[in-house]
């Protein structure tokens, strides 16, 4: 890997991937294209921005006039595609933004890659980072495997499913050397405080209500973001062309149980009496079409490439809480401005 393009590198997972790659591959050039939506933040990459093997380009992945010249200039041999609109609630409010970035953006990148590589695929890789949400929703039993039929049920997951299909179609039709992974819910430092864990940490800090959707009985499978970044690096290097790998945390939590654990951790760290934060829990109107349960069978990745997560959830959550508490300036910056408008719109009638 000489010239690596990472898309969406200023976002939550992308920034951890950029950091890992800049440090792990000092002899490679790592180019990060990101158009810095509300979710993209260059503060996430402060510690790597001066590295000589790192470049940042502000650009829209769906814009042909920005993307094609970039591919010509750097001659990428590796594309690691993370840029996306990623929040289910926003997709319910505004599906078109998800079609633009997740579908059109992905196809534009595939076209640019095809145009640059011109059928010369030796040593080349297009890695598409996707989500377990494309598989739909599970009942109490069962796990998503790589052969589970797609059944996306939110505009977000429908747009990711569509992008996955295009990536596979470019492999089958044009022979493009692709690999895809579908991962479960990530958590950790630098996640925008619209997603469950950072939103609730921020609200606990400010003693604001904790809006639990429905009865809090939905289940998610949580993976620490740095472990996901390591898995992505492994799959990129060792994954077989044309294959899909599920990545998961073996770590299912009912939302309300997770929230109770988080409240306990935060009370301790903030020196508040036990039970203080749990008192902020407020049950609100459920998310439309709320998927009941996601859970990943990641045995293919373990058996073929020897990867499995190792960090205990309690420890990961503790580290995450510490990060937000010692980065209150980051939190303050990302929760000012447009965020306040989003928050009012999203939660006012619940």
Q: Where do contacts with ligand TYD occur on this chain (CB under 6 A)? A: 88, 185, 195-196, 199, 211-213, 218, 220, 255, 287
Cα–Cα distance for residue pair 121/177, rounded to 1 Å: 7
Nearer to ligand TYD, 174 or 283 (CB): 283
Question: Where does this chain touch ligand NAD (CB under 6 A) — which range of 27-35, 206-214, 249-257, 335-343?
Answer: 27-35
Q: Decide: is 105 part of the binding site for ligand NAD (CB under 6 A).
A: yes
**Least distance between ligand TYD and beta carbon 253 (Å):** 9
CB of 32 or CB of 44, closer to ligand TYD: 44
| Catalytic sites, residue numbers | 132-133, 156
Among 6, 13, 88, 107, binds ligand NAD (CB under 6 A): 13
Stretch 232-251 residues interacting with ligand NAD (CB under 6 A): none
Listed in sequence order, the residues at least 6 apart from 237 whose beta carbon sits closer than 8 Å to its beta carbon are none
Phi, psi angles (nearest 5°) of residue 232: -60, -40
Q: How far apart are the first and last CA of the chain?
A: 49
| Residue 265 interaction partner, one of ligand NAD, ligand TYD, none, beta carbon < 5-8 Å per kind | none
Report yes or no: 159 and 91 within 8 Å, Cβ to Cβ. Answer: yes
**Which residue is closest to ligand NAD by CB?**
11
Interaction of residue 8 with ligand NAD, rule CB under 6 A: yes
* Distance from C-alpha of 152 to C-alpha of 149, rounded to nearest angstrom: 10
Interatomic CA distance for residues 169 and 167, integer angstroms: 5
Q: Which of 4, 6, 21, 34 binds ligand NAD (CB under 6 A)?
A: 34
Check binding of 71 to ligand NAD (CB under 6 A): no
- Treating both helix axes as pointing N-terminal to C-terminal, what angle do 12-24 and 225-238 enclose, rounded to 10 degrees? 60
Helices (H), the chain: 12-24, 64-74, 88-93, 95-98, 106-117, 155-174, 196-205, 225-238, 255-270, 299-305, 313-326, 328-334, 338-347
Binding site for ligand NAD (CB under 6 A): 8, 10-14, 33-37, 39-40, 60-62, 82-86, 101, 105, 129, 131, 160, 183, 185-186, 192
């Amino acid at each position: 890997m000489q010239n690596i393009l990472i898309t969406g590198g200023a976002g939550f997972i992308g920034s951890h991937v950029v950091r890992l790659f800049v440090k792990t591959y000092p002899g490679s050039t790592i180019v990060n294209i990101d158009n810095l939506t509300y979710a993209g933040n260059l503060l996430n990459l402060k510690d790597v921005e001066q590295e000589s093997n790192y470049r940042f380009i502000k650009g829209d992945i769906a814009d042909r006039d920005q993307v094609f010249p970039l591919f010509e200039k750097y001659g990428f041999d590796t594309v690691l595609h993370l840029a996306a609109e990623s929040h289910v609630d926003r997709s319910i409010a505004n599906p078109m933004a998800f079609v633009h970035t997740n579908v059109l953006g992905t196809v534009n990148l595939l076209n640019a890659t095809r145009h640059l590589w011109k059928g010369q695929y030796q040593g080349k890789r297009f890695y598409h980072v996707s989500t377990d949400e494309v598989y739909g929703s599970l009942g109490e039993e069962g796990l998503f495997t790589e052969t589970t039929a797609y059944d996306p049920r939110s505009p977000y997951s429908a747009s990711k499913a569509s992008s996955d299909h295009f990536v596979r179609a470019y492999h089958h039709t044009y022979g493009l050397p692709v690999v895809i992974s579908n991962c479960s819910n990530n958590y950790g430092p630098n996640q925008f405080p619209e997603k469950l864990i950072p939103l609730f940490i921020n609200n606990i800090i400010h003693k604001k209500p904790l809006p639990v959707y429905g009865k809090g009985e939905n289940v998610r499978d949580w993976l620490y973001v740095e472990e996901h970044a390591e898995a992505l690096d492994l799959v990129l290097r060792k994954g077989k062309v044309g294959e899909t790998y599920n990545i998961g945390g073996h770590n299912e939590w009912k939302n309300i149980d997770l929230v109770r654990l988080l409240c306990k951790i935060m009370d301790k760290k903030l020196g508040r009496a036990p039970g203080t934060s749990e008192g902020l829990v407020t049950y609100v109107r459920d998310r439309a079409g709320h998927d009941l349960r996601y859970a990943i069978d990641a045995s293919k990745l373990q058996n073929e490439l020897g990867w499995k997560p190792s960090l205990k959830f309690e420890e990961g959550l503790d580290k995450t809480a510490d990060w937000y508490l010692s980065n209150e300036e980051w939190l303050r910056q990302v929760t000012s401005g447009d965020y306040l408008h989003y928050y009012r719109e999203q939660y006012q009638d619940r």
